[in-house]
């Protein structure tokens, strides 16, 4: 699996931590930035990651900002992207299983690194259930089925 990563200044340190976590597990990482804690605009990084996922350059995306909310809002403006701001195992599990979420947005000001690892692991390991959920997910991009 290949995962595209992006973060703003608030999420930079956690992104770097999670990049190492992913590499240790053999996940291919496409780091799209940012590369420091210098102030930057989260929509720019969300757009890079969302575009990479939408084009198929990565199967999944990971975004990190202060709360995860702004990143998810920005990423969801891209067709084919289903970003979820999830800071707990229950939410991320259902977002994958029922909504086929393909981008995870985490809050660096909310999560300790160890908990962020657990949420990310659940995001990567949980399959989409399909079935009755496929019709609903298709409607997110305006596809009736």
Tell me: the pLDDT tens digits for 43-92? 999 999 999 999 999 999 999 999 999 999 999 999 999 999 999 999 99
133: annotated active-site residue = no
Q: What is the pLDDT of residue 107?
A: 98
* pTM listed for this prediction: 0.96
The active-site residue out of 17, 98, 115, 133 is 98
Q: Domains, the chain, ranges and CATH?
A: 2-139 (3.40.1400.10)
Distance CA 60, CA 128 (A): 13
For the question of residue 65 being annotated catalytic, the response is: yes
Structure confidence at residue 33 (pLDDT): 98
Cα-Cα end-to-end distance for the chain: 28
CB 14 within 8 A of CB 32: no
Cβ neighbourhood burial of 109 (10 Å; 0-12, 13-18, 19+): exposed
- Answer yes or no: is pLDDT of 129 > 60: yes
């Amino acid at each position: 699996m290949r995962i595209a990563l992006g973060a703003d200044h608030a999420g930079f340190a956690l992104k770097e931590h999670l990049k190492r976590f992913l590499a240790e597990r053999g996940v291919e990482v496409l780091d799209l930035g940012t590369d420091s804690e210098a102030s930057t605009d989260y929509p720019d990084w969300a757009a890079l990651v969302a575009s990479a996922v939408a084009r198929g350059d990565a199967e999944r995306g990971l975004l990190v900002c202060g709360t995860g909310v702004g990143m998810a809002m920005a990423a969801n403006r891209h067709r084919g992207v289903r970003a979820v701001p999830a800071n707990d195992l229950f939410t991320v599990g259902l977002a994958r299983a029922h909504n086929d979420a393909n981008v995870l947005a985490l809050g660096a000001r909310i999560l300790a690194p160890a908990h962020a690892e657990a949420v990310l692991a659940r995001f990567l390991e949980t399959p989409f259930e399909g079935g009755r959920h496929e019709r609903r997910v298709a409607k997110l991009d305006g596809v009736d089925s």
